[in-house]
Chain A
Amino acid sequence: MNNPVQLYCWHFMAYPLLPADFDETYDTGWVTVPNSLWDKDKSRGLYQQYIDQLAYSDELGFDGMVLNEHHQNIYGLMPSPNLIAAALTQRTKRGKIVILGNLLPLHLNPLRVAEEYAMLDNMSDGRLIAGFAPGSGPETFNYNVPSAGTRSQFWEAVDFIQRAWTDSGPFTHEGRHYPMRYVNPWPQPTQKPHPPIWIPGSRSRDTLVEIAKRGYCYFLSSRSHGNETARSQQMFSKILEEHGDRYQPSRMGILMSAYVADTDAQAQAEAKEGVWYFLKNCLKGHLRREGRQLTFGPGIPYIPPEEFRNFLKFSDPTTPLLGDAESFDDLQQSASIVVGSAETVYRRIMDILTRSKVGNLLIQFHLGNMQDALTRKSMHLFATEVAPRLREDSARLFAREFSESAHAPEMAT
């Protein structure tokens, strides 16, 4: 029997206290959004509320909690996900703690990440999933990280960290970007040979090849799950085969958002405020046509020119983005934010799983300024009425699709 889909609770920790006229008044929620909007009084207790929601997901039996790193925006208030992860090691006992991931080129030296992740793996008794990301547009503006040239720096850092966790120290690292005479981190991680490593990527073939070479897991960092997600899975599968490996659902994850209530109508009514706060405000500067997109484009030239040419050829700059959705019908097309009864949410997620065969669903429950009580109610309904069916049916689906490889040895990831 194959493993069922793994269900994680992802929290972005959005800033929920923007004024009602934010969208009309400000052209972006990223990089230059004025921090004078931060309300020092009303924001008291905010991190506690968010950490409590993540701890609640652990009580509810989710397979893990997901954190990621953002700087200078209202989309995610986690410049250091490792701090939140440290808190979770002390609040939770069961679920994986996924950091997706530390943005390696922002660190003076990847040794620091190897050390902090090893601490977290010890503090959580081997529950860390170690994500590494190169950073994208906002980091070029926020942290002076050059976008062209970051890739070789990123992969050197990744390889350095894995080696720091597996080779006996002290050793010398003769890298181009991070030459190090004494690599000898204390502590070493709890998990052997090392914590699972996940790498987010868009659809860049180069990234998938680097992931395949190293036997890592691929997290598709797209917020839309139409046919492109299935195509990415097929491309990854093919690249794995080119590297003498074989696709398993556990090798790939996607991000989506969900809200569950008793009926479709009730779910839409309850989710509406949080969803559109998220779409209009948090995605402004990221996935909206209004304002200036700061996450991808010619001013962030990290992909090779030929890839950019293809992007130009096959994309239409006038197509609405996720954040431009005006109705729940619009949202349905992107298959990214699923709102409805337990039956509806089950059906639509099962549809994504059937088409894309990914084994890790990283689900955002708290959207924008969603109230605590609603967020928890939706998480509870998901855990009790959606998750069991997804687990059972996905295990059957994966067994059918991947039966020959059911007995393949577990990947080191």
Chain B
Amino acid sequence: MSVRNVDVRGRKVTIAEAGDGAPLVYLHGFADVHGVAGDLLPFHQRLAQHARIIAPAHPGCNGSDELESSTIDDVIFRYLELFDAELLPRFDLIGHCAGGWIAAELAVRHPERVARLTLIGACGLFVPGEPIGDVFMHAQPERGTDLRSLRALLFAEPDGALAKRWFPDGRGDLDEEVRRYQMLRFGSFMGFKPPYFYHRELRERLYRASMPSLVIWGEHDRMVLPAHGAAYGDGMSGATGLEVIGGAGHAVHLEQADRVADLIAEFHDQYPNEHAGTPFKETAQA
């Protein structure tokens, strides 16, 4: 396992990396690597048993340079530059939360580069009557130090040890506080224009995601409600299923790391990478 900085056209990108094998790009959210942790978490280490996991930190997060402008279009373009620089013409892709949004955008814009797609509690869609939670409001502590409502947004059990480990009340570890701040700042750049972490046009573009695509959601996801998982499952032409995990919240892959890693491993076994290159629908019918 290593953390390294790469220079992409004069801009620093911090990448956490582990494992050997087929490249698997992991795009993070608020509650996992780069958003709260400086390095890979147990979930990612499980994935690294079967693949070479490459987890870049979003612009401005955990060592990566900030962009002057970070609309979703800018972010997508920067990732394409990174994949070019890292010689990754085609790879498996997993995204969580805001990272899931970026992954979905990459999949509909450049389906030829994404072999297999997994979305975990991904934002990005506008679903009427099912608004994405206001992470900015909840990130403002109550009574100066109380982050319970933010934990409730991100975890099924807001008072559980895991939630309190990454979002403690009071003044926590300085580096972790700054890491969370950087992720919120990235979210403010990207998620606000249009507001609330969605891109209204994305839903009607989802049909272009024709690669095998697995959607994983926490039953108690209060940040991105499960209706969004259903919408991704309905919209992506390559979707193979929607797995709703009981007892888990938005950070389902932290809360039930083994379960989620197993689901992804099964999914990858079921749809081997050699199908890559042909549109998935044709493969499935063959």
Binding site for B on A (CB under 8 A): 27, 137, 140-141, 144, 146-149, 152, 289-294, 297-302, 305, 308-309, 312-313, 316-318
Partner of A144, one of B69, B143, B192: B192
15 contacts between A and B (CB under 8 A): A27-B142, A141-B134, A148-B189, A291-B142, A292-B141, A297-B141, A298-B140, A298-B180, A298-B184, A299-B184, A308-B181, A309-B174, A312-B177, A317-B141, A317-B145
Binding site for A on B (CB under 8 A): 60, 68-70, 134-145, 170-171, 174, 177-178, 180-182, 184-186, 188-189, 192-193, 195
Chain B residues with CB below 8 A from A149, complex form: 69-70, 188-189
Closest to B61 in A: A305
Q: In the bound complex, do residue B178 and residue A294 qualify as a contact, i.e. CB atoms below 8 Å apart?
A: no
A140-B136, A308-B178, A312-B178 in contact; A292/B189 too (CB < 8 A)? no
Distance (whole angstroms) from the CB of B69 to the closest CB of chain A: 7
A146-B188, A299-B135 in contact; A294/B174 too (CB < 8 A)? no
Closest to B195 in A: A144
Q: In the bound complex, do residue B177 and residue A297 qualify as a contact, i.e. CB atoms below 8 Å apart?
A: no
Dominant SS among interface residues on chain A: loop
> Complex formed: what's the CA distance from A292 to B140 in Å?
7
Closest to B143 in A: A289
Distance (whole angstroms) from the CB of A301 to the closest CB of chain B: 4
Chain B residues with CB below 8 A from A299, complex form: 135-140, 184
Distance (whole angstroms) from the CB of B97 to the closest CB of chain A: 16
Distance (whole angstroms) from the CB of B133 to the closest CB of chain A: 12
A144-B192, A148-B185, A305-B182 in contact; A297/B139 too (CB < 8 A)? yes
Distance (whole angstroms) from the CB of A109 to the closest CB of chain B: 17
Chain B residues with CB below 8 A from A289, complex form: 143-144
Distance (whole angstroms) from the CB of A141 to the closest CB of chain B: 6
> Complex formed: what's the CA distance from A116 to B196 in Å?
32
A293-B144, A294-B140, A317-B145 in contact; A301/B178 too (CB < 8 A)? no
Chain B residues with CB below 8 A from A308, complex form: 178, 181
Q: In the bound complex, do residue B178 and residue A309 qualify as a contact, i.e. CB atoms below 8 Å apart?
A: yes
Partner of B137, one of A141, A290, A316: A141
Distance (whole angstroms) from the CB of A143 to the closest CB of chain B: 10
Q: In the bound complex, do residue A146 and residue B178 qualify as a contact, i.e. CB atoms below 8 Å apart?
A: no
Closest to B192 in A: A146
Q: In the bound complex, do residue B188 and residue A147 qualify as a contact, i.e. CB atoms below 8 Å apart?
A: yes
Chain A residues with CB below 8 A from B195, complex form: 144
Distance (whole angstroms) from the CB of A26 to the closest CB of chain B: 13
Closest to B182 in A: A305
Chain A residues with CB below 8 A from B180, complex form: 298
Distance (whole angstroms) from the CB of B191 to the closest CB of chain A: 8
